[in-house]
Amino acid sequence: MDAKVPEMLHVDAFQMRLADVADVDLERLHALSIAVGWPHRAEDWHSLRELGRGFVALDDIGRVMGSTMWFPHGERFATFGMLITSPRLQTNGTAKWLMQRVLSECPGRSFRLNATRAARRLYRSLDFVEQQTVFQCQGEARRPAESSEIDPGYVLRLLHRSELEAVVALDASAFAVPRPVHLAHLLESSLCYGLYRGDRLLAYSMSRSFGRGHVLGPIVAFSENAAIAVARPHVEAHAGDFLRVDTHCETGPFASFIQQCGLPIYDTVTTMTLGEGAAYGALDEDHPAIFALASQSMG
């Protein structure tokens, strides 16, 4: 792929130019996501801009016709998301132009993203490889039916900003790289629970306002039962309200728990990677796994 990506793209009878996503009014970004039916509020765009970088495509009169963002985690890895193009441009090469610009800005980085069905062909053309399915589960949350008792020797409690180091250490092997900046930001804006055995953190969970209600994630744990334990208080807190969970689990105890709590599978996307070391860590007795994503853009 050529390192130089053109600054202009001619589409039909008009041309578009690139601008920094940080320089665009939140209301205009919100209007773009509304146009394609995405749930992001202006507040959600604000949070994404605090953590990531990106571009927008502007037409001749300054309308936002497309967007793309990436979220760096250190110098060698990033997650990618918010690739949106106005419906009238979705077959005109705008998405590939935006994606190529991101890749040209990030030479040497490995990438992970979550692709809609419509976007998978584009990402394959750029050498991304499919890894696993993400199940978007959502609905009006119901209180869990089972007992919420914690086994003897375990303690479930709220997490605080001072425990960031333990959260980052637990998260790193599941996510593939440490993400202290992102987790610090999420801790500030989320309700967080941790499951401890003695001084060892075995699982953590976060929930925050997003879209139509709240999103539950990330959740990282050493076992499905631990993931359920830290998810339960969030579901109980939001019973009767809209709640969303993005998870790689289609079957098993955690998936059953989520669906029994009134959150059926609504849609799916596909996790895809480019480069070495970009896949999520696998769950085993020595390593935790990610049971719920922070978001489809941030992973």
Q: Which residue ranges make up each domain of the chain?
A: 8-108, 136-292
Which stretches does DSSP call E strand in 123-165?
Answer: 129-140, 154-158
| Cβ-based burial of 245 (10 A; exposed 0-12, middle 13-18, buried ≥19) | buried
How far apart CA 287 and CA 293 sit, in angstroms, is 17
Say yes or no: do domains 8-108 and 136-292 share a fold: yes
How far apart CA 177 and CA 79 sit, in angstroms, is 11
Answer for the pair 225, 253: CB distance below 8 angstroms, yes or no: yes
How far apart CA 26 and CA 42 sit, in angstroms, is 6
The contacts of residue 76 (CB under 8 Å, 6+ apart) are 108, 109, 110, 177, 277
- pLDDT tens series, the chain, 299 aa: 556 787 777 665 568 899 999 999 999 999 999 999 999 999 999 999 999 999 999 988 888 999 999 999 999 999 999 999 876 665 678 899 999 999 999 999 999 999 999 899 999 999 999 999 999 999 999 998 876 678 888 999 999 999 999 999 999 999 999 999 999 999 999 999 999 999 999 999 999 999 999 999 999 999 999 999 999 999 999 999 999 999 999 999 999 999 999 999 999 999 999 999 889 988 777 899 999 999 999 99
Query: CB-hemisphere CA count at 13 Å for 38?
Result: 24
CATH class of 8-108: alpha beta
Buried b (16+ CB within 10 A) or exposed e, 69-88: bbbbbeeebbbbbbbbbbee
How far apart CA 268 and CA 279 sit, in angstroms, is 18
Closest CA to 200 of 175, 166, 158, 156: 166
The pairing of beta strand 242-247 with beta strand 213-221: parallel
- Does domain 136-292 fall under CATH 3.40.50.1970? My reply is no
**In one letter, which amino acid is 201?**
L
